[in-house]
Structure 1
Amino acid sequence: MNVRWLIVIIAALCEVIWVIGLKLSDNVGMWFLTILFIIASFILLVYSGKRLPTSTAYAVFVALGTVGTVIIDMLWFNEAFSWAKVGLLAALLIGVIGLKLVTSDSKRATENKN
């Protein structure tokens, strides 16, 4: 994994944090932190989208954010656990990992083929 994909993962972690912040924010300080994580996640996503194939970077970002949020909901906020959820999350991750594996890491690779 290169640094560009690490930035996508960090952006997804920021997304999970701000989604949790939406649920927990009850004062100005918490809202401020939530907004900072919203800004950070999108700045990192935009930055990585300029250096990676945008569609794949976005798919990885959304999938990791979704999986992280569902897991936090189940572990921290007592959302009901079900094997169906686990299976669907696994299917989502398998699909996105497959998409990443068949996509070149650089936009230049596509430009060089033309």
Structure 2
Amino acid sequence: MAWILLLVAGLLEVGWAIGMKYTEGFTRLWPSVFTVAGIAASMMLLAQAAKTLPIGTAYGVWVGIGAGGAALLGMVVLGEPATVARVFFVALLLVAVVGLKATSGH
């Protein structure tokens, strides 16, 4: 169950990271409300997952999902550059996340 909570927390992190772009510096009400709610929910789920998972693993996986997902959505949705190097390094993040899970002992 902790891994499911952590996955959802990571996906929420992707959502709030992309949502920050739409808040325009927290000057737009509804994007700001949804972004802050996403931040709070993501951290609450991370905290719940960290009750049973090692914090280094939980935090690393959470950050990896968030950073990788935000980078991918930035390229696909926001028109950020999708260079071979960027895609390679996002793939390295994915390898790191899978490696952390595989070696966590849970």
TM-score between the two structures when normalised by the length of structure 2: 0.90
Identity fraction in percent: 35
Gaps of 5+ in 1: 106-114
Secondary structure of 1:91 counterpart: helix
In 2, the alpha carbon distance for the partners of 1:6 and 1:48 equals 8
1:27 Cα deviation from its structure 2 partner: 2.1
Gaps of 5+ in 2: none
Q: Which amino acid aligns with 2:47?
A: V
Richer in helix (by share): 1
Q: Which amino acid aligns with 2:51?
A: K
Partner of 2:15: 17
Highest CA radius of gyration, 1 or 2? 1
1:63 Cα deviation from its structure 2 partner: 0.5
How do residues 12-51 of structure 1 correspond to structure 2 at under 5 angstroms? 12-25=10-23, 26-51=27-52
1:88 Cα deviation from its structure 2 partner: 1.1
The answer to whether 1:97 aligns with 2:98 is: yes
In 1, the alpha carbon distance for the partners of 2:22 and 2:61 equals 25
RMSD: 1.1
- Runs of 4 or more, structure 1, over 2 Å off, are none
TM-score between the two structures when normalised by the length of structure 1: 0.84
| Aligned residue pairs, count | 103
Partner of 2:89: 88
